[in-house]
Amino acid sequence: MTKEFLFEQIQQKQSFLCVGLDTDINKIPVHLLELEDPIFEFNKQIVDATKDLAVAYKPNIAFYEAMGAKGWESLEKTIDYIPKEIFTIADAKRGDIGNTSALYARAFFENMDFDSVTVAPYMGSDSVKPFLQFKDKWVILLGVTSNEGGKDFQFLEADGKPLYQHVMATSKAWGSDQNMMYVVGATRPEYLTDIRKTIPDHFLLVPGVGAQGGDLQEVCKYGMNSQCGLLINSTRGIIYASNGVDFAEKAREEALKLQQEMSLLVQSI
Ligand SMILES: O=c1ccn([C@@H]2O[C@H](COP(=O)(O)O)[C@@H](O)[C@H]2O)c(=O)[nH]1
């Protein structure tokens, strides 16, 4: 998917919501467990209930890998089911020596038809560049993560700048704002002004709204750009709003609350 198309979708839907699909067999409603593929059935109903409100879906690969071969099957069916105009993110946090990264890239971009994959920058350029060889596919590089432990390394100073700034300033030359995005946690909006000085035009994937307590307005105040520039992810706050038979309906209600807030913000661009 191109950046222009993504922005068109944001304008059309008045939304920059990314719904996380971290589907945990132990958390889904019990009535689904008697079905052949409960994980896929859950995802299908979440997608059906939210697809007019979301511009992206983000399955976290851990939730599928943990289920073995059956989990990969549910993931493949989910990706095939999501409408093509919706941006898909394999939240896999991959990255390895070049020839290994090339195979990770094939797994998500050729074997499965994801639009993007999250990649950890720690192993440097040759671990990231193989993911950038695919037309209209995206790398989403970890920048400033939302978790408490993110501060263990990401803010350490080198040459007067925090490590995450080195990551962004160096890596942006490996691709462009047409094939790279960065993860910036919603729990750390105070870094967005500085981040926008380094990468004014790139899209940011922002997890941490909802269950982790990140604030949508704060993120938008400092992180939005003229093409929106943000994909805001909420997972547990949406998909586990209820664990009863009304789970999809309640998920829609939560997604709608965020979309309505986003609509006003899109209009202000
Ligand atoms: O810095 C990061 C990077 C990734 N994540 C992932 O996003 C979702 C968040 O889920 P919530 O339920 O909305 O908290 C999840 O898949 C994380 O692994 C992140 O939270 N922070």
Residues 88-116 have pLDDT tens digits of: 999 999 999 999 999 999 999 999 999 99
Give whole-number Cα distances, 217 to 194, 236, 238, 261, in Å.
17, 19, 18, 9
Q: How far is the CA of 60 from the centre of ligand 1 (A)?
A: 8
Ligand 1 touching residue 127 (CB < 6 A): no
Q: How far is the CA of 174 from the centre of ligand 1 (A)?
A: 25
pLDDT level of residue 209 (50, 70, 90 thresholds): very high
pLDDT level of residue 4 (50, 70, 90 thresholds): very high
Buried-exposed string 20-41: b where 16+ CB fall within 10 A, e elsewhere: bbbbbbeebbeebeeeeebbbb
Q: What is the pLDDT of residues 46-80, one digit of tens each?
A: 999 999 999 999 999 999 999 999 999 999 999 99
The answer to whether residues 35 and 24 touch, using CB atoms and an 8 Å cutoff, is no
* Number of residues that make up the chain: 269
Q: What share of the chain is helix, strand, coil (3-state, %, to 5)?
A: 45, 20, 35
Show which residues are catalytic: 93
Give me the mean pLDDT over the 181-187 stretch: 98
pLDDT level of residue 183 (50, 70, 90 thresholds): very high
CA-closest candidate to residue 117, choices 77, 81, 155, 90:
90
Helix (H) and strand (E) counts for the chain? 11, 10
Buried-exposed string 80-102: b where 16+ CB fall within 10 A, e elsewhere: eebeeebbbbbbbbbbbeeeebe
Ligand 1 touching residue 24 (CB < 6 A): no
Which regions of 75-122 does DSSP assign to beta strands (E)? 87-94, 116-119
Q: How far is the CA of 167 from the centre of ligand 1 (A)?
A: 20
- pLDDT of the residue at 144: 98
Name the residue range of residue 214's domain: 3-267
Pick from 19, 21, 63, 91 the residue to mutate for probing ligand 1's pocket: most ligand atoms within 8 Å of its CB. 91
Ligand 1 touching residue 207 (CB < 6 A): yes
> How many folded domains does the chain comprise?
1
CA-closest candidate to residue 86, choices 18, 138, 23:
18
Give me the mean pLDDT over the 132-161 stretch: 97
Give me the mean pLDDT over the 193-217 stretch: 97
Pick from 93, 146, 219, 239 the residue to mutate for probing ligand 1's pocket: most ligand atoms within 8 Å of its CB. 146
- pLDDT of the residue at 263: 98
Give whole-number Cα distances, 140 to 25, 27, 120, 170, 175, in Å.
27, 28, 9, 15, 11
CA-closest candidate to residue 42, choices 61, 56, 53, 26:
26
Pick from 21, 212, 215, 216 the residue to mutate for probing ligand 1's pocket: most ligand atoms within 8 Å of its CB. 212
- pLDDT of the residue at 81: 98
Give me the mean pLDDT over the 167-181 stretch: 98
Summary mean pLDDT of the chain = 98
Cα dihedral sign for 200, 127, 115, 218? Answer: negative
Ligand 1 touching residue 165 (CB < 6 A): no
Rounded to whole angstroms, the maximal C-alpha distance in the chain is: 58
Ligand 1 touching residue 23 (CB < 6 A): no
* Residue 145 alpha carbon, nearest atom of ligand 1: 1
- pLDDT of the residue at 177: 98
Q: What is the pLDDT of residues 240-268, one digit of tens each?
A: 999 999 999 999 999 999 999 999 999 99
Q: Which CATH number goes with the domain that contains 23? A: 3.20.20.70
Give me the mean pLDDT over the 199-222 stretch: 97
- pLDDT of the residue at 176: 98
Ligand 1 touching residue 210 (CB < 6 A): yes
The answer to whether residues 164 and 155 touch, using CB atoms and an 8 Å cutoff, is yes
Q: What is the pLDDT of residues 19-36, one digit of tens each?
A: 999 999 999 999 999 999
pLDDT level of residue 189 (50, 70, 90 thresholds): very high
- pLDDT of the residue at 101: 98
Q: How far is the CA of 208 from the centre of ligand 1 (A)?
A: 6
